[in-house]
Structure 1
Amino acid sequence: MSDSWKTTLPCTRAEAEAIDAGAIEIDAVLMTTEMVEDDVEQWRLDAYTDDEPDAAMIAAIRALAPSAAAIEPTVEKLTDADWVAMSQAGLEPIREGRFIVHTQAHPVEPGPGERAFLIDAGQAFGTGHHGTTSGCLAMLDRLADQRFDNIIDLGTGTGLLAFAARHLWPEARVTATDIDPVAIEVTRENAALNGVERVDLIVADGARAPAISEAAPCDLIIANILAGPLIAMAPEIAAIAAPHATIVLAGLLANQADKVIAAYRAAGCTLEQSETRGDWTILRLTAAEVPVTHLNSDDTGRENWARDI
């Protein structure tokens, strides 16, 4: 095992949640930890890297925790340590309805009717331990009695929500997309680890890619992203929705929910349920009876490809 490095800075809860929910372009595994229970100011950011962090890496890590601008980061060499395993050490298994999500460091034996997924911390968001992802799992579990035939998970991250959908609706077509090719490869690897089959994978920015348009209309759309992209994508998501489709949205802070809801109402959608977990909100909406005209799939500004697992 080669040496690895840990860089540590204090941060606030708001900064930690932004790190956990965001698409962070940094060559490090990031872990945030609550240092004092219910104290929003006392959190910690640990960044694990293969090599000793240079000035550019330190600056990138600092940028994630502006509240620690006056504090020197602690840089520690981890001799003969597996930094991925260390980043998972605090990730206890979670349970949401029939689903259990765990890491290799915390194996579980599912009980009758339960479905366990092994999702290790790594280069893509969506281990199930963040309130947005676990909230989506709970929302999907409650929809289990409904029938869906064509499901898409936009911004799939680790693939977890697409895997849950495949389990709940085994006869449906399931598509998972992400803007990041690394996330799609992570999803492919996680599918193999968990014995998940028949999920179409697409690298795409938003929902305009030809492969997505060709798969539409979808009767269940899941998008666990961030408030800004969710608002911008409202017309795109409405365009790929079947009449009365169910839309599950997450990745938005509670104080951003009204703006997201307004954007989807403008696209013809109706709010059915809103659930708050900590500072985060998960929304369930119904698409319009008359679908929005599909967007032109000849958008050359959005690169995409699709393969099947």
Structure 2
Amino acid sequence: MSADAGGAIDSWKVSLPCTRAEAEAIDAGLIDIDAVLMTSEEVEDDRERWRLDAYLERAPDAAMLAAIRALVPSAADIEPVVEALGAQDWVTLSQQGLEPIREGRFVVHTSAHPVAPPPGGRAFLIDAGRAFGTGHHATTSGCLAMLDALAGQHFANVIDIGTGTGLLAFAAAHLWPDAAVTATDIDPAAIAVTAENAAANSIAGLKLIVADGTLDDAIVAAAPYDLVIANILAGPLMSMAPELAAIAAADATILLAGLLETQRAELVAAFEACGCTLEAADRRGDWTILRLKAGATRFVPATPPDPKGRDGWALDI
């Protein structure tokens, strides 16, 4: 793309409202459209208030507008907002949120912003793409900080539920190289991305499973886990509290994220009902990351877990 010194139009943006489900479908799929697609929350933790922005190198014609509208059926009756952008506008927008993040011994970067690891630490290459968890959301970076703080402890069996890009599982594998580390996600595309990221970061030995929560025979067979990580959303975490507690070993550490501070008390109560106790909390803006300790004896749920009432639980982070 190019623009002359007088500020000629260099690119275009088409914007439409969408739901989170539509945003996830866009982000998780290989969309055959000649545009760069970006989705974002307009209202935190509101599944219906998201936005799609499509960036193009030329003015959109009727066919392109129709193709973009087809991605977000909920906006079928809404006229898209079409904006002309200059070169500097495009460069700035396309680089937003891509700078490396640092949490303790970890640094997370994209291909566009390579960086060396800190002394004694580890750098992870995680490009934004078809799955969630680049480290730039407060929930993921907060989980990295929580894991870094646990480095002096020993864990032998770790599970990361809702792994997204695999980042938290990679951090656990680095901290505890002798541990068995399992990464799961309800979305097959996320598991495919995790496998790609593991190869790019030379992470070997991860067990990858497509599963809804803990509802997989391989997950149950490998229990109990002495470290359980779940960076999802508050509603699903509350409904999954019995099953997460059930796969945890006695006195296991449980890291929970994806919840707003306003949801903390209700979520803690749900896990206290399963014998867990709150040990630490890290508030980052509106979001809170929790570290809990499982009970001294393994929790046995009164009824089997029922996935039917769950809300979608992949978090865009």
**Paired letter, 2:15:** T
Structure 1 CA distance for aligned equivalents of residues 98 and 41 of structure 2: 10
Unmatched 5+ stretches in structure 2: 1-10, 32-36, 43-49, 57-62, 309-317
How far the C-alpha of 1:295 sits from its partner, in A, is 9.0
- Equivalent residue number for residue 222 of structure 2: 215
Contact 1:153 1:175 in 2 (8 A): yes
Q: Aligned in 2, Cα 1:58/1:210: closer, same or farther, shift over 3 Å?
A: closer
SS of equivalent residue, structure 2 residue 182: strand
Question: Does 1:273 pair with 2:280?
Answer: yes
The within-5 A match list for 1:1-309 is 6-8=13-15, 24-26=24-26, 27=29, 29-32=37-40, 45-48=51-54, 52=64, 53-60=67-74, 62=75, 72-74=80-82, 87-293=94-300
Separation (CA, whole Å) in 1 of partners of 2:276 and 2:23: 26
SS at match of 2:71: helix
TM-score (norm 1): 0.77
Q: Distance in 1 between matches of 2:246 and 2:84?
A: 49
Q: Which whole-Å CA distance do the structure 2 matches of 1:188 and 1:113 have between them?
A: 25
The verdict on how the C-alpha distance between 1:238 and 1:33 changes in structure 2, with shifts beyond 3 A counting, is closer
Q: Which amino acid aligns with 1:30?
A: M
Query: Do 1:208 and 1:296's aligned partners in 2 also have CA atoms closer than 8 Å?
Result: no
- Tell me which amino acid in the other structure corresponds to 1:102: H
Query: Shift in Å at residue 208 of structure 1?
Result: 2.2
* 2-structure distance, mates of 1:49, 1:182: 24
Which residue of 2 is the match for residue 304 of structure 1? none
SS in 1 for 2:178: coil
CA distance change for structure 1 residues 248 and 5 in 2, over 3 Å: closer, same or farther? Answer: farther
State whether residues 158 and 183 of structure 1, in contact with CA within 8 Å, keep that contact through their aligned partners in structure 2. Answer: yes
Asked whether the equivalents of residues 14 and 80 of structure 2 are also in contact (C-alpha less than 8 Å), the reply is no
**Aligned partners of 2:289, 2:305: CA distance in 1, in Å?**
32
The count of aligned residue pairs is 273
TM-score, with structure 2 as normaliser: 0.75
RMSD (Å) for aligned C-alpha atoms: 3.7
Q: Which structure's CA Rg is the greater one?
A: 2
Preserved contact between residue 273 and residue 284 of structure 1 (Cα < 8 Å): yes
Q: Is the 1:247–1:284 Cα contact (8 Å) retained in structure 2? A: yes
Structure 1 residue 296: Cα displacement: 9.2
Query: Letter of the aligned partner of 1:25 in structure 2?
Result: A
